[in-house]
Structure 1
Amino acid sequence: MKYVVSWVPRPNTTEESAARSLQVFGKWTPAATFTGFYGRVDGQGGFAVIEADDPAVVAKDVAPFVPWFEFAVYPVIDIADTAAIDTEAMEFLASVT
């Protein structure tokens, strides 16, 4: 399964706590497969595209950074799959009288 993860710094982040988060990040080894890992150019967070068979793996990768960042994790599917599902749904809706 693919996930898009976004994060922003928590409002109470200080210079010292940001330095600590970077220290932790330097020692961190993710369990999931990161196919994209991006920082926002404004310095206010970032995005990752992750693949993992078990959502617990994604939770494990996010957990060490919860003290410093607020996360949003979205399970996603390829747009071709979304289009096929939407087409099927529209056909179903059209068949209901």
Structure 2
Amino acid sequence: MKPDEKPSGDGLDDLKSRIDVARPKLTEERISTAKQIANRTASEAFGVAFSFVICILIGTVGGFVLDKALGTKPLFFMVGFFAGFALGVWYMIFKARQVAQREEE
């Protein structure tokens, strides 16, 4: 090849066209992966919040039923509420530890 000749651009043009084709695919894959992670995280958060509310409701309703049956008005209602609250907090901590362990792996 003489110094005044330019190398053919076929190789570089081909590489540029392949990069241009691959770049949108990579972006789409990243967006899809990010959406999947966001959906999973939102689903887990909703599940934990729902479980927290259900724990409180079960404890409160159970306490209310015991109060009706035993004639002790607010005692078991309050005990059931706080027991349900404590169980809900324990479950939230349990799920948070599971998520942390999964992210470490």
Give TM-score scaled by structure 2 length: 0.23
- Name the structure with the higher helix share: 2
Q: More relative contact order in 1 or in 2 (CA 8 Å, sep 6+)?
A: 1
Give TM-score scaled by structure 1 length: 0.24
